[in-house]
Amino acid sequence: MIIVAGTLRLSQQDLESVRADAVAVVSATRAEQGCLVYAFAEDLLEPGLVRIYEEWESREDLARHGKAEHIAAWHAALKRVTVLARDLKIIEVASSEPLA
């Protein structure tokens, strides 16, 4: 399994201006082959901070995702605003188990 996790920081006003674009990219991505989890969550204590979490079946699925039209549209939306910070990491997981 491949996990992508991290943050995106925008001003609160810029976040509001791309909210519909964010909803569109999350909705489209969740329908992609190999997507197990795809979520954006606003931090409750830090306005404008978006926590991103993704789970993919394989690196190939993640690579295909990166070439999708809805990702190009999301990147175009982010170019209309000022991205204050972006920090995403790819994590390869050998195994996982439920937390008891």
Task: Report angle CA 16, 66, 74 to the nearest 5 degrees.
Answer: 20
Write down the CATH number for the domain with range 2-92: 3.30.70.100
Residue with tokens 């999301």: 74
Q: What's residue 100's pLDDT?
A: 86
The answer to whether residues 11 and 18 touch, using CB atoms and an 8 Å cutoff, is: no
Residue 8 CB-half CA count within 13 A:
21
Q: State how far the Cα of 18 lies from the Cα of 79, in Å rounded to an integer.
A: 10
pTM: 0.93
Per-residue pLDDT tens digits for 42-91: 999 999 999 999 999 999 999 999 999 999 999 999 999 999 999 999 99
